[in-house]
Amino acid sequence: IGRIVKLLAGEPDDLRDIALDLDGVPDFNRGVYDIARSIPPGQTMTYGDIAKKLGGVELSRDVGQALGRNPCPIVVPCHRVLAAGQKPGGFSARGGVDTKLKMLAIEGAVVNHTPSLFD
């Protein structure tokens, strides 16, 4: 918990050494989470990037669904995974995309985001 608090305060930590209990998690999702955990703080990948590593860009939607079911947020940094064009895409945690953007800003990641009139 202390390391997560420090990460959210701006201290880089990839948290990769934290063991996860993914018993019952489908193999595809585990593959997505393994790749997401390889993304260093302050950097991002797209759903398509991960999909290509798992077999093809046509798996992008499946990657997004797996990340939406992420049982270990922050430790599995799904906030570092963006949509095409470096746009934020979705985020299922409380606060939605605003939370994702705040977490990425804390880490110093660059995101292509122009708020709408109603943001």
Active site residues: 78
| 28, two tokens | 């595809």
Which residue intervals of 55-113 are DSSP H helices?
Answer: 60-68, 96-107
Count of other CB atoms within 10 angstroms of residue 27: 8
| 27, two tokens | 């193999």
